[in-house]
């Protein structure tokens, strides 16, 4: 049986949070959509078509670049329109499996189980889970208005599998502006009998921010907590400001360094690299390399965060301590926390910036320079 797969990735994923749509965010070091694409490829699917929003085509291409026999088409304004566009691009296939990109917990074994049902004669089949909780219907104010029997009530999942000729006929008969919740609804509207098989809890759909962490625990196995430590120091020189934790602070002196000499973020980069076992900042951005002369340290911090993401790790907390007599850090501390949280994508309450002096002792006490220490707490696969 020649099998094609359609991955629907046209949504914006706004409820899941993040700077980019949820289907392209990293989950344990792999883009969310990449999990499903890999599962299809490993199952012998001969053709994969992804329907994505035109403005996200670059995200989609980067997230699926390693998958052979995969094509990207522009999706539509609704899920149904996106499937219709992808189905038009599918070649000669006996069966078509349609899957939501936001369900990364797909396994080859489930794909094989769906295909086996088609080979046994089913025209349409989908995975589903029973509902274990008591169900009640409520009105807009939250007042319970009715009990709902849960016998036979199922939670639908994807991928949903169809004989190709059945699916094409159902879509051909569907009104051009119709919008259905899933593809089982499309074929049932055409009079096709559909079957359900046992689904998988790992096929949960990413909808809200907390869902990513839940899927990490379900898919990632054991995880460990690592703490990295970083230290940096720069001497004062001519200038009218210093940059600390991404914030420019007026001062009678500047800081001397090959880049922008942001000691706070340099120490933090080393702390993150330390937690990952990735060496130090000098190994990644050698001071002998002229391209880093005067560079904004935000580039270094984003690089460290990207390394963590690629390793399937999650930065959960950072703490920076600045050591100097002057400038006074207190008036700028909140701005430093906010900038650091922004770059790392962390809630503000997981970013600490504080300061201390050496009671006029040593080179710091003589105001010859300033220093910084930082720790980063990182959860990573064991």
CA–CA dist 14, 291 (Å, integer): 37
188-197, 218-227, 251-260, 327-336: least confidently modelled range: 218-227
- 83-116 pLDDT, tens per residue? 999 999 999 999 999 999 999 999 999 999 999 9
pLDDT for position 195: 97
Q: Mean of the per-residue pLDDT values for the chain?
A: 93
CATH number at residue 265: 3.30.1330.50
H helices of the chain, in order, are 32-42, 57-63, 79-89, 108-119, 164-173, 183-189, 209-220, 263-276, 281-284, 298-310, 333-344, 362-365
The boundaries of the domain holding residue 91 are 3-220
Q: Judge if 234 and 216 occupy the same domain.
A: no
How many CB atoms sit inside 10 A of residue 117's CB?
17
- Give the dihedral sign, CA 238/239/241/244: negative
Q: What is the DSSP letter of 203?
A: G
Q: What is the DSSP letter of 23?
A: G
CATH number at residue 146: 3.90.550.10
Per-residue pLDDT for 17 more than 60?
no
- 266-316 pLDDT, tens per residue? 999 999 999 999 999 999 998 888 888 889 999 999 999 999 988 878 899
Per-residue pLDDT for 15 more than 60?
no
How would you classify the pairing of strands 160-163 and 223-237? unpaired
Whole-model pTM over 0.75? no
Q: Judge if 139 and 181 occupy the same domain.
A: yes
Domain end among 220, 252, 277: 220
Domain count for the chain: 2
**108, 39 contact by CB (below 8 A):** yes
Percentage with pLDDT > 70 across the chain: 97
H helices of 190-297, in order, are 209-220, 263-276, 281-284
Domain end among 168, 185, 220: 220
**3, 95 contact by CB (below 8 A):** yes
* 183 Cβ neighbours under 8 A, 6+ residues apart: 83, 98, 160, 162, 167
Per-residue pLDDT for 177 more than 90?
yes
Q: Judge if 250 and 352 occupy the same domain.
A: yes
How would you classify the pairing of strands 195-198 and 124-130? parallel
Q: Judge if 135 and 189 occupy the same domain.
A: yes
Domain end among 183, 202, 220: 220
Per-residue pLDDT for 380 more than 90?
no
**Distance in angstroms between the alpha carbons of the first and the last residue of the chain:** 39
* 258 Cβ neighbours under 8 A, 6+ residues apart: 287, 292, 293, 294
pLDDT for position 14: 53
Q: What is the DSSP letter of 332?
A: G
- 274-285 pLDDT, tens per residue? 999 999 999 999
Point out which residues pair with 235 in neighbouring strands. 369
Q: Judge if 119 and 260 occupy the same domain.
A: no
Q: Judge if 75 and 180 occupy the same domain.
A: yes
CA–CA dist 243, 294 (Å, integer): 12
Q: Judge if 69 and 54 occupy the same domain.
A: yes
- Give the dihedral sign, CA 335/336/337/341: positive
CA–CA dist 343, 345 (Å, integer): 6
| Of residues 286, 178, 177, 268, the one with CA closest to residue 231 | 268
Residues 199-206 have a mean pLDDT of: 94
Q: Judge if 170 and 157 occupy the same domain.
A: yes
135 class by beta-carbon count within 10 Å (0-12 exposed, 13-18 middle, 19+ buried): exposed
Q: Judge if 9 and 81 occupy the same domain.
A: yes
pLDDT for position 16: 47
How many CB atoms sit inside 10 A of residue 211's CB?
17
- 150-169 pLDDT, tens per residue? 888 999 999 999 999 999 99
Q: Judge if 235 and 305 occupy the same domain.
A: yes
Q: Judge if 182 and 247 occupy the same domain.
A: no
Q: Judge if 229 and 154 occupy the same domain.
A: no
CA–CA dist 48, 233 (Å, integer): 52
């Amino acid at each position: 049986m020649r099998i094609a797969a359609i991955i629907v990735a046209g949504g914006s994923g706004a409820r899941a949070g993040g700077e980019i749509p949820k289907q392209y965010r990293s989950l344990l070091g792999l883009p969310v959509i990449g999990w499903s694409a890999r599962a299809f490829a490993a199952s012998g699917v001969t053709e994969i078509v992804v329907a994505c929003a035109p403005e996200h085509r670059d995200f989609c291409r980067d997230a699926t670049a390693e998958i052979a026999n995969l094509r990207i088409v522009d999706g539509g304004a609704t899920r149904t329109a996106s499937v219709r566009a992808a189905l038009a691009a599918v070649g000669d296939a006996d069966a078509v499996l349609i899957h939501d990109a936001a369900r990364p917990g797909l396994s080859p074994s489930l794909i094989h189980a769906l295909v086996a049902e088609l080979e046994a004669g089913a025209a349409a089949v989908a995975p589903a889970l029973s509902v274990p909780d008591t169900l009640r219907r409520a009105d807009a104010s939250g007042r319970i208005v009715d009990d709902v029997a849960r016998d036979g009530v199922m939670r639908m999942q994807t991928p949903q599998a169809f004989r190709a000729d059945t699916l094409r006929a159902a879509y051909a008969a569907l009104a051009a502006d119709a919008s259905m919740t899933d593809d089982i609804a499309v074929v049932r509207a055409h009079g096709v009998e559909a079957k359900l098989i046992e689904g998988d809890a790992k096929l949960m759909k990413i909808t809200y921010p907390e869902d990513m962490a839940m899927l990490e625990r379900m898919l990632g196995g054991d995880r460990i907590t690592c703490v990295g430590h970083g230290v940096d120091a720069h001497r004062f020189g001519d200038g009218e400001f210093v940059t600390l934790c991404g914030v420019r602070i007026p001062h009678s002196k500047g800081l001397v360094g090959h880049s922008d000499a942001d000691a706070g973020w340099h120490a933090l980069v080393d702390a993150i690299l330390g937690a990952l076992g990735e060496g130090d900042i000098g190994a990644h951005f050698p001071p002998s390399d002229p391209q880093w002369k005067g560079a904004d340290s935000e580039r270094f911090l984003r690089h460290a965060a990207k390394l963590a993401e690629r390793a399937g790790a999650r930065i959960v907390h950072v703490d920076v301590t600045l050591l100097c007599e002057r400038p006074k850090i207190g008036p700028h501390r909140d701005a430093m926390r906010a900038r650091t949280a922004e770059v790392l994508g962390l809630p503000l309450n997981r970013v600490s910036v504080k300061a201390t002096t050496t009671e006029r002792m040593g080179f710091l006490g003589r105001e010859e320079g300033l220093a910084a220490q930082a720790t980063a707490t990182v959860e990573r696969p064991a």
